[in-house]
Structure 1
Amino acid sequence: MTAPQRIGPYAIERLLGVGSFATVWLGYDPLLDGYVAIKVLAENWSHDLRVRERFRDEARLLRRLEHERLVRVHAVGELPDGRPYAVLAWANGGSLRDRLALGEICVPAALRLFGEICAGVSVLHRHGVVHRDLTPGNILFHSAGAEPTGNASAAEPTGAATGAERVLIADLGLAKALAAASGLTARAGTPGYMAPEQDDPGAVIDTRADVYGLGRLGIRLLAADPHGLGPDRPRPAGTLRLRDGVPARVAAVLVRATAHRPADRHPDAAALHAALDRATDPVRQSSPVARRPYRLLLAGAAVAAVTVVGAEPGGAGADRDTHTAGPLTVSLPEGWSATGATWAGQYDADGEAEPALVMSPQPRRWAADPEVPGAFVGVSASTAARTTPAGFLAERTHGDCVSAPARTTRQAGVEWTVVAYRCDRGRPRIVESAGLPANRAGLVYVQIVPPANAAPDFVDTLLGGVRVR
């Protein structure tokens, strides 16, 4: 294959890789004095309108999601022959496939890496996207300061949160919004990592297909004989032999993740990640935080009664209207109401959706209308078992917004970590906050979109009205 000298304004250095649908080149941006990866649709697919649109979908998805755990898109364009290309951040640490070709990754690093991969896929699931092609070649690494001629090594990955090396989820060309990921879409996936239902043209594909792919990645990283385990054979946990040093409980997690029937798997990547944390940390397994402290008694949107306390809602010196949903009780700002819900993508130790509520002047419009103020409040024991409030907020950045420095505030006995964002698009201001209540029933997360005319203490007052039983 002859390398082009230039693609758009970028000078081409060398070939990075060739896939079924695209070729990836290392390019140099002279204006920014930096390297980029340029993904070009393969010439033999340029006539297929479905593939062209799938290629563009990847760039749109990555640009829309804009998260540190996903490969970032800088620009898009077209070659003179009409083939589209996408300019991506260069993953200078190579891929997991590259590293596994050099040898097995040590067990502690492999465990941490598997957790980072689950966390990355959780970002997709949180935004209603299913990847459908999770393989070692689609797990990339980016390290600050690496030279373009350097080779990927089997050095221990330190995870996205440390800043030394980030684990990135790539190649979303097969991803679809969950609403569209049905049997009407083309069969897609890589044998050995593809969920069994992806081979059925009439199947509905959802997040559990990605859980299967994650389970297969976990087996590749952590099993004693990953190549001898066929993907289609059901097996009990006791027959999955793990590498020395891998906690024994991890076998049950991987067996459940790779169950043949989707209904038998973890519901999504966040639930798998939580199960992995419980299996690898005996202290957390015995902690009261990790145990299930409640059960929602209503299916679907679980709503409890609204209790009015005091004379005038929001009046000085009087209690405000309150709303209770499961273990959550909130004091409502004047003119606001609330509706109970479950927290999408968050599941407790028994696989039950964890509780949440939305409060707003118009709760049912808040999620869809950026002009409507409001707040989402959720409590999660599984999240408290795997991370801190500050760590959780670090997973929920807003790529198109500018953040203020994180601050802490103590309200109603809870030490809250608070990060405020100002945005040029959508909602002009978003406040992310998280804390642990005194009873340590779970991590409490509150996302707030304040009213345009909100008082300076609006956020702290709202946080002071959140209670967890």
Structure 2
Amino acid sequence: MTVPLRIGPYVIERLLGVGSFATVWLGYDQALDAHVAIKVLAENWSHDLRVRERFRDEARLLRRLEHERLVRVHAVGELPDGRPYAVLAWADGGSLRDRLAADPIPAPAALRLLGEVCAGVAVLHRHGVVHRDLTPGNILFHSAGADSGVEQVLIADLGLAKALAAASGLTARAGTPGYMAPEQDDPGAVIDIRADVFGLGRLGIRLLAVDPLRAGSGPSPPPVAAAIRLREGVPAGVAAVLARATAHHPADRYPDAAALHAALDRAAGVAPHPPRPAARRPYRLRLAAAGVVAVVAGVAGAGAETGGGETGQPGGATYTTGPLTVALPAGWSATGTTWAGQYGADGEAEPALVMSPQPRRWAADPRLPGAFVGFSATTAARTTPAGFLAERAHGDCTSAPARTTRQADVEWTVVGYRCDRGRPQIIESAGLHPGRAGLVYVQIVPPAESGADFVDTLLAGVRLR
């Protein structure tokens, strides 16, 4: 392979890696005196328009999400031969694959690392994205500072990732054997974020099991907890968490990466609001920004209609999608959507909406108040409102005791969280439809100036048909 001298304005220093779809080079930005990673589409795929578009989609997706737990995109470009490239932040700490090949990671550090990976994948899930290829090679490390001894864990290689609305049997089968969920091997299966939960469980077995190759890496159904022999220093309860994460059927797994992360913390006895580490030591992992919204929309505008007034008008307006009708606070509007990762018995995504002063920006902007409202019959069939909220715990925030309130014929369970970073306050609430099988979930970020009754007033405005 010939090493190019330059790609765009960047001086090429060396090869970082070669994959099935792309080659990655270490480049140097002379203007900024900084190194970057430049990902170039492989020559043998340059003629395939679908692959070229998927390559560009990855860069667009990373740029849109722009999160500290994901590899950042600085720029995109095209080589003289027409191949696209993306300029990414350089992960100077290498990959998890490199580290596993070099030295064993101490068990306590490996458990913390798994939690950090879960938190990174949860960012994708909150934005309605399924990764589909979570392997040690796609987990990268970046130094947070030359003298800090702190490393940031990054999720990389979203080339196989898709918005959940598109991640179905109509997409190409893809994934890495050993980490790929069973349904990914079925061209007709619906692939959702629970496929990533399986991949995270397999990563956990690789990191924490005594003999990960024997712990269900073949084509047979994954092991029960008793078959997972954990390394010394890993709490025994983690085996049951990994067994559920790698269950053969998606419905038997945790619903998303955030729920898996919370279950790992409970099994490991992690405090709800852990202190930030102060002393330098190997394999230290930076804590995530707390309080980022735990669930986000799928595809905007799906099946929604207004009712009772214009959604952008202050006060008195309502918004309807599916069985949900909400009364909008003054100055708020709404957009219809689907609930990421939630599918009904017919395989269709279950309904939801987002309301906020700027609903399309709410998920990504922690300064905005707003609310997500979703309805799910399948969730009601497997758990209670209190059980569902326990799955959505915010581990980096301080929670208040759960309370109940009856609003508009719904008995709501409500849990409030105070967070030091990101959104300062997050309210999680859930209840059952009074007349049919279904769970309604409302996540609220109240306005800073709102009173104590804001949450109950908003819940009272949620009507179910």
For residue 227 of structure 1, report the CA deviation from its aligned partner: 2.0
How many Å separate the matches in 1 of 2:451 and 2:328? 8
Provide the rounded CA distance (Å) in 2 between the counterparts of 1:29 and 1:72: 15
Contact between 1:366 and 1:374, CA under 8 Å: does it hold in 2?
no
Shift of 1:185: 1.1
Distance of 2:127 and 2:55 partners within structure 1: 19
Contact 1:389–1:436 (Cα < 8 Å) also in 2:
no
The CA distance in 2 between the partners of 1:338 and 1:106, in whole Å, is 48
DSSP-derived class of the 1:459 partner: coil
State the match for 1:387 in structure 2.
Answer: 396
| TM score, norm. by length of structure 1 | 0.66
Instruction: Indicate yes or no: 2:224 matched with 1:226.
Output: no
CA contact (8 A) 1:277 1:385 kept: no
**Partner of residue 19, structure 1:** 19
* In structure 2, distance between residues paired with 1:465 and 1:369: 18
1:182 & 1:345 partners in 2: Cα distance? 12
Structure 1 residues 226 and 205, CA gap change in structure 2 (3 angstroms)? same
TM-aligned CA distance change 1:21 to 1:360, over 3 Å: closer
Query: What's the offset of the Cα at 1:186?
Result: 1.1
SS at match of 2:370: strand
Report matched runs for 1:432-443 at 5 Å: 432-434=423-425
**1:263 to partner: Cα distance:** 1.4
> What is the CA–CA distance in structure 1 between the aligned matches of 2:452 and 2:153, rounded to whole Å?
33
Matched-pair contact (CA < 8 Å) for 1:26–1:35: yes
Residues 253/10 of structure 1: CA separation in 2 closer, same or farther (3 Å cut): same
CA distance in 2, matches of 1:460, 1:109: 41
The residue identity in structure 1 corresponding to 2:424 is S
Separation of aligned partners in 1, 2:332 and 2:162: 35
Q: Distance in 2 between matches of 1:195 and 1:101?
A: 24
Residues 8, 198 of structure 1: alpha-carbon distance in 2 compared, 3 angstrom cutoff: same
Q: Does the CA-based 8 Å contact 2:134-2:199 persist in structure 1?
A: yes
Q: Report the secondary structure of 2:154's partner residue.
A: strand
What is the CA–CA distance in structure 1 between the aligned matches of 2:30 and 2:65, rounded to whole Å?
27
Which residue is equivalent to 1:251?
239
Partner of 1:142: 142
- Distance between the aligned counterparts of 2:249 and 2:391, measured in 1? 24
Cα distance, 1:462–1:85 mapped onto 2, change above 3 Å: farther
Q: Which residue of 1 aligns with 2:445?
A: 447
Q: What is the correspondence of 1:58-457 to structure 2 with a 5 Å cutoff?
A: 58-144=58-144, 164-229=150-215, 230-234=217-221, 235-281=223-269, 366-367=359-360, 375-376=370-371, 380-382=389-391, 384=393, 386-388=395-397, 432-434=423-425, 446-447=444-445
Q: Is the 8 A contact 2:362 2:370 kept in 1?
A: no
Q: Deviations over 1:176-209 (max 9, x none)?
A: 1110011111111111111111111111111011
- Report if aligned partners of 2:194, 2:341 keep a CA contact under 8 Å in 1: no
- How many percent identity over aligned positions? 72
Q: Matches of 1:245 and 1:418 in 2, distance apart?
A: 30
In the alignment, residue 14 of structure 2 is paired with which amino acid? Answer: R
Once the 2 structures are TM-superposed, how far is the Cα of residue 462 of structure 1 from its aligned partner? 4.7
Shift, 1:256, TM fit: 0.9
Say if 1:377 and 1:445, in contact at 8 Å, map to a contact too: yes
Taking a change above 3 Å as real, the CA distance of residues 462 and 46 of structure 1, as seen in their structure-2 partners, is farther
Alignment check: 8 A CA contact 1:389 1:435 kept? no
Closer, same or farther: CA 252–18 of 1 in aligned 2, 3 Å: same
* Per-residue deviation, 1:16: 0.4
Whole-angstrom CA distance in 2 between matches of 1:37 and 1:29: 10
Give per-residue Cα distances to partners, 1:125-147, cap 9 Å, x unaligned.
Answer: 11010000000000000004569
- Paired residue total: 351
Supply the distance in 2 between the matched residues of 1:139 and 1:120 (Cα, whole angstroms). 10
Partner letter of residue 461 of structure 1?
S
CA distances 1:244-264 after superposition (whole Å, capped 9, x unpaired): 111111111111111111111
TM-aligned CA deviation for residue 461 of structure 1:
2.6
1: CA distance, partners of 2:77 / 2:333: 46
Is 1:461 the counterpart of 2:460? The answer is no
1:74 aligned counterpart, secondary structure: strand
Q: 2-side partners of 1:360 and 1:143: how far apart?
A: 36
Alpha-carbon distance in 2 for matches of 1:418, 1:338? 28
1:465 to partner: Cα distance = 3.2
Query: Using the alignment, how far apart are the partners of 1:334 and 1:92 within structure 2?
Result: 48
Between 1 and 2, higher relative CO (CA 8 Å, sep ≥ 6) is seen in 2
| Matches of 1:205 and 1:345, distance apart in 2 | 9
- Secondary structure (helix, strand or coil) at the match of 1:124 reads helix
Partner of 1:8: 8
Q: How big is the shift at 1:345?
A: 7.4
What's the C-alpha RMSD, in Å, of the aligned pairs?
A: 3.9
Structure with the greater alpha carbon radius of gyration: 1
Q: Residue type of the partner of 1:460?
A: E
Q: Distance in 2 between matches of 1:246 and 1:87?
A: 38
1:358, 1:374 within 8 Å by CA — same for their partners in 2?
A: no
Paired residue secondary structure (1:460): coil
Which stretches in structure 2 are left out of the alignment for 5+ residues?
Answer: 273-313, 317-325, 343-351, 374-385, 400-415, 429-441, 460-465
Change in CA separation of 1:336 and 1:260 when aligned onto 2, cut-off 3 Å: closer
| 8 Å contact from structure 1 (residues 333, 462) kept in 2 | no
Change (3 A) 1:49 1:95: same
Deviations 1:351-410 (A, max 9, x none): xxxxx996668xxx945899xx962279954555622259xxxxxxxxxxxxxxxxxxxx
